[in-house]
Amino acid sequence: MDKFKSPVIIVHGGASKRVRYVPPATKSAVCKGIRAAAKRGYDILKSNDGTAVSAVIEAVSSLEDNKHFNAGFGSKLNKDRKVQMDAVVMDGENLKCGGAISVSNVANPVQLARLVMDKTEHCLLCSKKAEEFAKEMGVPTVSNDQLICERSVTLYGEALARQNQDMMDTTEKNEEKDDYGDQESHDTVGAVALDRHGNVAFATSTGGLNYSMPGRVGDSALPGCGGYADNCVGAASTTGKGEAILRVNLATKALTLMEAGQSPEEAACNSIKYMLDRVGGYGGIILLDNTGNTGVYCSDNWMSFAEIKDDIVRYGLHPDESKYEQL
């Protein structure tokens, strides 16, 4: 019997409420981008020395480079009209993790997160000191302006206009400002993987919420919230409103359900429903166990994803609308 496991990777492009028309060209670009990211990670897993950590880093880096996703070059703008990004990675073999919080001049924060994990004794570095560490490690830097895309400028302008108009009643304000003035703003990117040696890993990266307070930190870079990986159970990456995810420790909740005997599919669904019931939070999760079974669930109406297992790609703009193709 083959001692190696069949590699598996799942990638998500973020959960959100899409309340406006999405052109077919954009949908096509998102599907192309999410499939390409999963394929890049899967190619690493298929190589003899490919690790789950390297696979999730590669997949998430691909999404950070794609302006259609809220990370890296597609990041949202805070109230100061600045990009402020968070990222994290975790190795399920030894529970080592690394995160970068509130960085603004690194094109691929997830690669900086890996350096925090591999090159320091710490788990998280933030803001200017994280950027100084990136420079010490030779990480390429970019200007904040280079990270700003047209879509983010538009969403920022709309949020600013709504604030200036101040014409909504209390009910409307609470509904509209559930995610700081933009119902489409809480998407994130992430990946989970199982390699041939049975090791799992996760990585998550975000460009934050549109028009959020400068200095705001969400769930994405925090292990147990934005994701978690443990060879004894599996791996998860989450997406949604960070404040809700933080309050329920969503990734930990999902893995705890699996540890109690639920399948990844059941745990994905039940952890998201728990967040909705307890704190009224919407979002999504990708989940796999340490044998390669998977679960993908989203309570919003949009969460692009791609899963590759046994050379079969499952993908879509929402888990309920899956398509399949052979590599």
Say which amino acid occupies 64. E
List strands edge to edge, sheet with 200-206.
124-126, 97-103, 85-91, 200-206, 189-194, 8-16, 302-309, 312-316, 323-326
Burial (CB count <10 Å: 0-12, 13-18, 19+), residue 297: buried
Neighbours of 26 (CB within 10 A): 12
| Other beta carbons within 10 Å of 43 | 17
Return d(Cα 63, Cα 169) in angstroms, integer: 38
Write the burial class of residue 195 (CB in 10 Å: 0-12 exposed, 13-18 middle, 19+ buried). buried
Token pair of 154 as six digits? 């538009």
**234-240 and 283-289: which strand pairing?**
antiparallel
Place of tokens 């704190």: 279
The single residue of 51, 188, 239, 294 carrying the catalytic annotation is: 188
Q: What is the DSSP string of 36-66?
A: HHHHHHHHHHHSTT--HHHHHHHHHHHHHT-
Active site residue 188: yes
d(CA 84, CA 206): 9
- Burial group, residue 85, by CB count within 10 angstroms (0-12, 13-18, 19+): buried
Residue with tokens 């909705």: 276
How far is Cα 94 from Cα 36, in angstroms, rounded to an integer? 29
Report, as residue numbers or ranges, the catalytic residues. Answer: 188
